[in-house]
Amino acid sequence: MKGLILFLKAAILLAASGIVALGGVGLLWLPANPFNPEYSGLLYTIIAGLYASAACLLVSLFHGFRFLNSIERSAMVSERSLKAVKAVRNAVIAAGVVHAVLLPFIFLLAERDDAPGLILVGTAPVLAAAVIAAFTGVVHGLFGNALAMQGKAGSLR
């Protein structure tokens, strides 16, 4: 079990460092290489939304890391782990909402640039966020029920 938790922690750290690295490269590269003025309003709006989404994802990764720490301490079903799962769900929902708000801009860009595949690429994060939010919602419900049963078992003793 410890090996799996260590692997998941490494995966979270790798994902977070990738998000930070791509965001840093984008901030350094973007001012030196401005976009086509015809698309600049749409592209800069989309990029600002992607940075907001990245912040939400970093928050969810942080809380996922905290959840793994609570599991490692043999406190899988605890109030802290329940809060961490809820925070992950809320951050993923926020990222999905940001991507949903960006969809009209992505549609306009796809229409102007004649790139219909961009619509599929823009829709994928919204669907992925919905699936992850549903999964974490189920996990949150299961942990809540387990915590309630644990409390009832403790009160019966």
pLDDT in tens, 44-79: 888 899 999 999 999 999 999 999 998 888 767 788
Kindly state the DSSP code that residue 35 receives in the 8-state scheme.
Answer: P
Sequence-ordered alpha helix ranges (H) in the chain: 2-32, 40-72, 79-113, 117-156
Q: What's the token pair of residue 107?
A: 């549609």
In this structure, what token pair is assigned to residue 4? 């799996």
Residue 15 has pLDDT above 80, yes or no: yes
Q: What is the pLDDT of residue 98?
A: 97
Q: Give the alpha-carbon dihedral of 98, 103, 109, 110, to 10 degrees.
A: 140
C-alpha to C-alpha distance for 101 and 15, rounded to whole angstroms: 24
Q: What integer pLDDT is reported at residue 107 of this predicted model?
A: 93
pLDDT: which is higher, 102 or 157: 102
* Location of structure tokens 């306009």: 108
Residue 5 CA neighbour count, 13 Å, CB half: 13
Above 70 in pLDDT, residue 81?
yes
For the chain, what is the mean pLDDT?
A: 88
